[in-house]
Amino acid sequence: MATGRTHRPATRSRGIPEATVARLPLYLRALTALSERSVPTVSSEELAAAAGVNSAKLRKDFSYLGSYGTRGVGYDVEYLVYQISRELGLTQDWPVVIVGIGNLGAALANYGGFASRGFRVAALIDADPAMAGKPVAGIPVQHTDELEKIIDENGVSIGVIATPAGAAQQVCDRLVAAGVTSILNFAPTVLTVPDGVDVRKVDLSIELQILAFHEQRKAGEEAEAQAGAAASAAQENNGKGPDGDVPAVMPA
Amino acid sequence: MATGRTHRPATRSRGIPEATVARLPLYLRALTALSERSVPTVSSEELAAAAGVNSAKLRKDFSYLGSYGTRGVGYDVEYLVYQISRELGLTQDWPVVIVGIGNLGAALANYGGFASRGFRVAALIDADPAMAGKPVAGIPVQHTDELEKIIDENGVSIGVIATPAGAAQQVCDRLVAAGVTSILNFAPTVLTVPDGVDVRKVDLSIELQILAFHEQRKAGEEAEAQAGAAASAAQENNGKGPDGDVPAVMPA
DNA sequence: CCGTCTTTGTGCACGCGTTCACAAAGACAT
DNA sequence: ATGTCTTTGTGAACGCGTGCACAAAGACGG
């Protein structure tokens, strides 16, 4: 996840597998929905379906947290919500700063999902002096000069970077120097951070490119199937693919 | 990735490993930067550093595409840019629709990274009649009623969902029925889709929760190290973690 | 033309994650 | 109290992904 370290077991000895941690928020969301509908208990099968995973995987995931289920019955929804929340650290308050209040930064500031689970937007920061003081999502934007002071005074340990790519590393360095140890990066750049700092990146462009790859593959297979064994030179063009560019069948 | 199918080899026989596909956009970005600086060739070591990965991994990744390097020299930047672009399907034009033009949808519409690599925003769609006709990022918003027509006329196969969670599944169903086979989902819900449809999700809330977990773990270790072997009943509270809730050491 | 030096491409081993399949555990009826 | 039935928790096997380490390939100088 983070950039500059291939070392470290990634999965701590005593701890929970990384893959499991990544799924806990999914379970938590499904459980919260059940809780709101006042459902008292849920089986691994039902919950797995709601979370979109395999039931065996879910049970194994929960087994890392302890034995919170009752055989023959299932899991107590409320209890499980609490346990997962505690495990994820959502029982405490996490002040967060968002740096770079452009289109995306503003959208993030307005995003309700932040506040819902213990995350609190402590400050919005932008390098543009014209933005300073202007309220976004009810919070006045502050200038980058204040960054260190804000981090320090609010005890911020999680930073969100929504700046242009060019500014991201510099902002990252300042955040880390000021004491931030977890960074969520929306800028399309690879961030280099010292050991002990976690970086997660969200990259729209990359996600789209991955989809495009699969889309192309699907179109290729389809064309292959359509053409059958007939090595026709005539290019077929179905209604969906806007381009007759059938990819070669992997050149050697 | 997609929800309703645990089956299928995931990694196609003749194809490229999924993990490699996910890294190709990273390499492409680094290579494009080199290309703009007119760097003719690059070694696996250099490129790996720029992309933030291991050089052995990079070489193995490229080996799936074919043998495009020259021993003793490295890789030809331009050639590699072309090969990866072709492999990812970026040499063709991908019309994309964005459904749900709220804060996030608008930010996505304005995001430059879309247009940069063959992705073209074909239409913006929103359920709010008041939005209809209003231009966002230079493109007039169209009403949901037009969805099927837009998909069909533009040959759209990739859809982006940026609606509230409640509307996401319904929108998804309509997109799929209209012929979309790849979906990028920003709504905090698990989408259920038929076989053959790819879904990738981007979930801010989940990313933050994962960071919070590691942050808590770091704080816990730190506190543990500070406390040393002394099994003090007094709860320590360091400056960063606003809560003394040190997680139990896995209750058997 | 030959030797040296750099860098690729890959065989191999290891570890994490996933899945199957089943025994143990408990609820519930009789 | 006992049997049945449901559902958990987990041992074990398997497969994918990663990283090491090295042989093969080619550039380049003499």
Number of domains within chain A: 2
For residue A228, what pLDDT is reported? Answer: 57
What is the C-alpha radius of gyration for chain B, rounded to an integer number of angstroms? 23
- Answer left, alpha or beta for residue B126, where phi above 0 means left and psi between -120 and 50 means alpha: beta
Tell me what pLDDT residue A116 has: 74
Identify the pLDDT of residue B184.
Answer: 98
Are A168 and A102 in a shared domain? yes
Helix (H, G, I), strand (E, B) or coil at A189: coil
Q: What residues form DSSP beta bridges with A158? A: A96, A182
Contact B190 A88 (CB under 8 A): no
What is chain B's mean pLDDT, rounded?
A: 86
Written as one letter, the residue type at A34 is L
Rounded CA-CA distance A135/A141 in Å is 6
What pLDDT is attached to residue A67? 86
Across A7-21, A108-122, A187-201, B26-40, least confident range: A7-21
Answer whether residue A220 is part of any domain: no
Same domain, B156 and B65: no
The per-residue pLDDT for A15 is 85
Contact A212 B118 (CB under 8 A): yes
* Residue A49 pLDDT: 97
What is the pLDDT at residue A114? 78
Q: Say which residue, B80 or A243, is predicted with more confidence.
A: B80
Distance of alpha carbon A104 from the chain centroid:
15
Confidence band (pLDDT; 50, 70, 90) for A14? low
> Quick one: A143 and A197 in the same domain?
yes
Collapsing DSSP to helix, strand or coil, A158 comes out as strand
Same domain, B104 and B199: yes
Lowest-pLDDT range of A52-61, A158-167, A217-226: A217-226
Q: Of the residues A54, A88, A122, which one is the last residue of a structural domain?
A: A88
- Looking at the predicted structure, is the pLDDT value of residue B237 above 60? no
Structural domain includes residue A13: no
Inside any domain, residue B123? yes
Q: Which nucleotide is nearest to B20 (CA to C1')?
A: D17
**Together in a domain, A41 and A65:** yes
In a domain, residue B46? The reply is yes
- Select from A73, A88, A103 the last residue of a domain: A88
Same domain, residue pair A54 and A83: yes
Q: Is residue B174 part of a domain?
A: yes
CA distance B78 to B75: 9
Last residue in a domain, options B88, B105, B135:
B88
Sort A159 into a burial class: Cβ within 10 Å, 0-12 / 13-18 / 19+.
buried
Q: Which segments of A52-208 are extended strands (E)?
A: 69-70, 74-76, 94-99, 119-126, 135-136, 139-143, 158-161, 182-185, 198-201
Q: Across residues A239-248, what is the average pLDDT?
A: 34
Q: What is the pLDDT of residue A239?
A: 35
Q: Are B122 and B130 in contact (CB under 8 A)?
A: no
pLDDT at A250 over 90: no
Percent pLDDT > 90 in chain A is 77
SS3 state at A96: strand
- Residue B120 lies in domain: 94-205
Tell me whether residues B204 and A155 touch, CB distance under 8 A.
no
What's the mean pLDDT when you consider all of chain A?
A: 86
Examine the domain organization and report whether A143 and A190 are in the same domain. yes
CATH of the domain at B45: 1.10.10.10
Identify whether B217 is part of a domain: no
Chain B span 35-54 residues with beta carbon within 7 Å of strand C: 43-45
Asked whether residue B216 is assigned to any structural domain, the reply reads no
Contact residues, chain A, for B193 at CB < 8 Å:
none
pLDDT tens per residue across span A30-87:
999 999 999 999 999 999 999 999 999 999 999 999 989 999 999 999 999 999 999 9
Q: Which of B99, B103, B201 is nearest to B150 (CA)?
A: B99
In this structure, the answer to whether residues A178 and A156 fall within a common structural domain is: yes
Q: What's the mean pLDDT in B181-195? A: 97
Report whether pLDDT(B94) > 70.
Answer: yes
Distance CA A30, CA A53 (A): 11
Mean pLDDT of A181-210: 97
Of B54, B93, B245, the CB nearest to A91: B245
* Range in A32-41, A78-87, A151-160, B228-237 with the lowest mean pLDDT: B228-237
A101 CB within 8 Å of a chain B CB:
no
Do B193 and B145 lie in a common domain? yes
Whether residues A185 and A100 fall in one domain:
yes
As a whole number of angstroms, the distance between CA B157 and CA A216 comes to: 10
Positions 74-93 of B with beta carbon below 7 A from strand C are 74-75
Best mutation target, A210, A235, A237, A250, to test chain B (most B CBs within 10 A): A210
Structure tokens at A96: 């967060």
* Beta carbons within 8 Å of B40's beta carbon, 6+ residues apart: B76, B77, B78
- CA–CA dist B111, B108 (Å, integer): 5
In a domain? residue A133? yes
pLDDT at A126 over 60: yes
Mean pLDDT, residues B167-187: 98
The reply to whether A84 and A129 lie within a common domain is no
Residues 185-224 of A with CB under 8 A from B: 188, 190, 192, 196, 198, 200, 202-218
Instruction: Please answer whether residues B65 and B81 qualify as being in contact, where contact means their C-beta atoms are separated by less than 8 angstroms.
Output: no
pLDDT of residue A8: 36
pLDDT score, position A117? 79
A107 and chain B in contact, CB less than 8 A? yes
Mean pLDDT score, B196-213: 96
Query: Based on C-alpha coordinates, what's the Rg of chain A?
Result: 23
Whether residue B71 is found in the same domain as residue B110: no
> What is the C-alpha separation between A203 and B24, in angstroms, rounded?
13
**Backbone phi, psi, residue A220, to 5°:** -65, -45
Nearest to A3 by CA among A142, A191, A210: A191
Q: How confident is the model at residue B14 (pLDDT cuts 50, 70, 90)?
A: low
* Residue A94 to chain B, least CA–CA distance (Å): 8
